[in-house]
Structure 1
Amino acid sequence: MQSLVERDYFTDYEILKDPYAFFNALRDNGPIFQPPGKDYFIVTGFEETLQVLRDHDTFSAIIALQGAGAPLPFTPEGSDINGQLDAHRHQFMGWDSVVNMDDDRHTKLRALINTLFVPSRLKASEEFIDKYCEEMVGKAVAEGKVELISAIATPFVTMVVADLLGVPMEDRTVFMNAIADAPPPGSLDGAEGAGHPFAVMGKYFFGYVADRKANPQDDILTELTHATYMDGTKPEVHDIVQLGMFMFGAGQDTSAKLLGNAMKYLVEQPELQDRLRADPKLISAFLEEVLRIEGSTKQTARLARKDTEVGGVKIPAGSKVLVALSAANRDPRRWENPNELEIGRKKIVEHVGFGRGKHVCAGAPLARAEVRIIFEKFLASTSKIELDMEKHPGGIADLVYEPSFIIRGLATMNLKLTPA
């Protein structure tokens, strides 16, 4: 019988739907381990994860989207592959996306992104979120039931990021449908070509940028279009379009899945609902713990640019590294009772649910705000939230996670809502 460590993370449906036993089996072999027959390493240790994500000179983010399981477009040679990497960068999937960028190009674009999520903009966005949540949750509670993922989570976070960016109201449904019809990033059932959401959104975003040049508005797309880097140069139009699409796509995926993952704990533990209703200030701490124990992003990937060592293991230049964020967040060397949800853990914000280093999620403050607000509305508007047993006769065991090597999220979740 094949052992857990011999199974393939990228193609095994059961592991993709529930990776924790697999990562624990790997951890038994040390905080960084090369599975038998694989050409990549997997990092499960918390400190080792920080080392890899913070060392940008040694590790490139170029394989963040395609993952450690995909082949490289060249054969690495020597103890330093920076020259080869630069020569072949355009051949990597998503090479022009900010999440895959390195060095100066990433630094300049990321500095631009960081200016967008200022407190004043987030406060204005929270006003929209509050009003929109009131409508969505109110309608669901009035009906007494709802399918959380498709009817609430995805449209909610999509509308929030659309409002922030400045996507016209008439186009938002088009984007929501494109995203809803496509599997999540990293799915075994992934969409390619013309059906991919970015392919659908591309022509729209080019149009938005052209429009904002002539007709500035009070939105992020306008700021990006008229932005200037610190050195006085201006971003390429292509970079602005790619950034806008990435912010739209990434913003809805992770936040929508976080909402579902967190709700699972509330229906599984009714006493937790009562605790949060009695003290809504605990909702933020609850969400941080969910980000640790069941965050939306399971992993990212890095490519070693030069020979190095992590956790006592030698990593040759050209090695691919799967950084298992969900495993690092359950590393028993860092967290007591790592597999238990405990509100109020010390230093909980040190989790790596949003990554770490230069590529840490820039939209984390927005994600925290939008999911916190909708949970406040759900809990204030109800006296009980439970699974719809007609749809899920087996209870929690019926909930199915999507088979993505990147995203941890439920496919569906039908709820019954008892009004307050």
Structure 2
Amino acid sequence: MVTGSDELLEVMKNNRDFSSIIALQGAAAPLPFQPEGADIAAEIEANRPKFLGGDLLVNYDDQRHAFSRALLSRLFTPSRLRANEKFISEYSEQLVRDAVANGGVELIKTISTPFVTMVIADLLGVPVEDRQIFMDAIEAGPPPGSLDQNENDYTAETHPLVVMGADFMNYVQDRRANPRDDVMSELANAKYPDGSTPEAIEIVNLTTFLFGAGQDTSAKLLGNAMRYIIDQPGLQDRLRADPSLIPQLLEEVLRLEGSSKQTTRLARRDTQIGGVKIPAGTKVMLCLGGANRDPRRWEDPNAFVLDRPRIREHLAFGRGAHVCAGAPLARVEVRVILEKFLEHAADIDMDEAKHGPRGARRLAYEPSFIIRGLSELHLKLTPSAA
């Protein structure tokens, strides 16, 4: 387990000695082979199909990872994010107005998850008529990294990635046969940097994983940020008076309560971390939450500081080749919907009947070894004078 900020950076930037093959299954699960020798890179690749999610971007290494990231970069261009922000603004306006009119809302299931699901669907170009199917599949599925190992079968017919995968395969095959002027056509017909054409299943795996992973972490970020807005004295009034502070809020919340608690690496060669010898075959848990509260890096690390210096240096989105590709989208979508809440609600509070009084809150978190996020957050909303 690696908890130091410098040590995490050391590992995240060392793609030669560390593989991401166990990023999805975690450090506790056994390897599907017995490592032998000082260099097991070839053994990892020979056994890749035996690893949970071995064919997903988060577990890729080297050229395969670089090629898939090149495809993904087409989605996160500034022009595409600006177009997506228009949808984000309109949709969040509708959700927040309804919630404020009702005097309150359960944030996570009623707003957070549907909101981010629809945003990523819009970015990917999922047809409007199919978006509810995706929303229902994600709602019915387990959290990533569920502590119930029976729920981590990514091949089960009811798993959201499998449900969405069938639809995405239809999209890809249709767009290859009948290209249109949309994002899905661009992805379906994209080329790798060397000019070769990806297999259709590669595009399907890439898009479904982005859909599944991106929506859950962003939804949890909204809930985690709202908790600080409510319980930090005077914070919501300060943000309401100056919404330009919301990005700073999000970065500090990402440091203190990042949606991803940890990620993992497998040492594929004899190496070192912080001067400690690490033999090939060692499973390494990178504790993002620990590094983001490392007292050697952050002054008063457990305190919430809105204007903390160099806050963007936190590791909530990772670093290096596997830095979160969806980080720009997460920052935009959560910022925009928080702006709407602060605009339309003169006061935001937790429902004390559900969560207890300020200073003695009762909060439940998702049972996951990957995700850090509330399973529910009941709000009371006072309409603004406008």
Give the structure-2-normalised TM-score: 0.96
SS of structure 2 residue aligned to 1:397 = coil
Aligned to 1:260: 223
SS of structure 1 residue aligned to 2:361 = helix
SS of structure 2 residue aligned to 1:322 = strand
2:135 aligns with one of 148, 153, 176 = 176
1:101 aligns with one of 49, 60, 66 = 60
Is the 2:144–2:213 contact (alpha carbons within 8 Å) kept by the matching residues of 1?
A: no
Amino acid at match of 1:275: R
1:37-77, Cα deviation, whole Å (9 max, x unpaired): xxxxx000000000111100000000000001100011111
Any residues of structure 2 matched to 1:73-88 within 5 Å, and which? Answer: 73-88=32-47
Aligned to 1:205: 168
C-alpha distance in structure 1 between counterparts of 2:87 and 2:203, whole Å: 24
Is the 1:202–1:245 contact (alpha carbons within 8 Å) kept by the matching residues of 2?
A: yes
Asked if residue 250 in structure 1 is aligned to residue 213 in structure 2, the reply is yes
1:394 Cα offset (Å): 5.2
Any residues of structure 2 matched to 1:113-124 within 5 Å, and which? Answer: 113-124=72-83
C-alpha distance in structure 2 between counterparts of 1:147 and 1:106, whole Å: 38
Amino acid at match of 1:401: Y
Unpaired runs of 5+ in structure 2? none
Is the 2:100–2:382 contact (alpha carbons within 8 Å) kept by the matching residues of 1?
A: yes
1:339-392, Cα deviation, whole Å (9 max, x unpaired): 111011111111111111111011111110000000000001111000112222
Aligned to 1:235: 198
Unpaired runs of 5+ in structure 1? 1-41
Amino acid at match of 1:397: R
C-alpha distance in structure 1 between counterparts of 2:157 and 2:377, whole Å: 29
Aligned to 2:290: 327
SS of structure 1 residue aligned to 2:352 = coil
C-alpha distance in structure 1 between counterparts of 2:163 and 2:67, whole Å: 27
1:407 aligns with one of 371, 374, 379 = 371
C-alpha distance in structure 2 between counterparts of 1:122 and 1:215, whole Å: 25
Is the 2:75–2:123 contact (alpha carbons within 8 Å) kept by the matching residues of 1?
A: no
Amino acid at match of 1:69: A
Aligned to 1:157: 116
Is the 2:24–2:52 contact (alpha carbons within 8 Å) kept by the matching residues of 1?
A: yes
Aligned to 2:382: 418
1:61-109, Cα deviation, whole Å (9 max, x unpaired): 0000000110001111111111211211111010110110001111111
Any residues of structure 2 matched to 1:11-410 within 5 Å, and which? Answer: 42-189=1-148, 190=151, 192=153, 193-393=156-356, 397-410=361-374
Amino acid at match of 1:183: P
Is the 1:300–1:324 contact (alpha carbons within 8 Å) kept by the matching residues of 2?
A: yes
Is the 2:75–2:124 contact (alpha carbons within 8 Å) kept by the matching residues of 1?
A: no
SS of structure 2 residue aligned to 1:243 = helix
C-alpha distance in structure 2 between counterparts of 1:183 and 1:410, whole Å: 14
C-alpha distance in structure 2 between counterparts of 1:326 and 1:133, whole Å: 29
Is the 1:221–1:244 contact (alpha carbons within 8 Å) kept by the matching residues of 2?
A: no
1:227-254, Cα deviation, whole Å (9 max, x unpaired): 0122110111111000010111111011
SS of structure 2 residue aligned to 1:194 = coil
1:181 Cα offset (Å): 1.6
1:172-195, Cα deviation, whole Å (9 max, x unpaired): 112111111222100113353122
SS of structure 1 residue aligned to 2:272 = strand
1:256 Cα offset (Å): 0.1
1:221 Cα offset (Å): 2.0
1:335 Cα offset (Å): 0.4
In the alignment of these two chains, the number of paired residues is 379
1:217 Cα offset (Å): 3.4
1:281-339, Cα deviation, whole Å (9 max, x unpaired): 00000001000110000000000011111112110000000001111111000000111
Report the CA distance shift for 1:394/1:275 in structure 2 as closer, same or farther (over 3 A).
closer
1:126-171, Cα deviation, whole Å (9 max, x unpaired): 0000000110001100111100000000000000000111112222
Is the 1:386–1:415 contact (alpha carbons within 8 Å) kept by the matching residues of 2?
A: yes
1:375-417, Cα deviation, whole Å (9 max, x unpaired): 0000011110001122223555311111100000000010000
SS of structure 1 residue aligned to 2:331 = helix
SS of structure 1 residue aligned to 2:365 = coil
1:201 Cα offset (Å): 1.1
C-alpha distance in structure 1 between counterparts of 2:232 and 2:171, whole Å: 45
> What fraction of aligned residue pairs are identical, expressed as a percent?
61
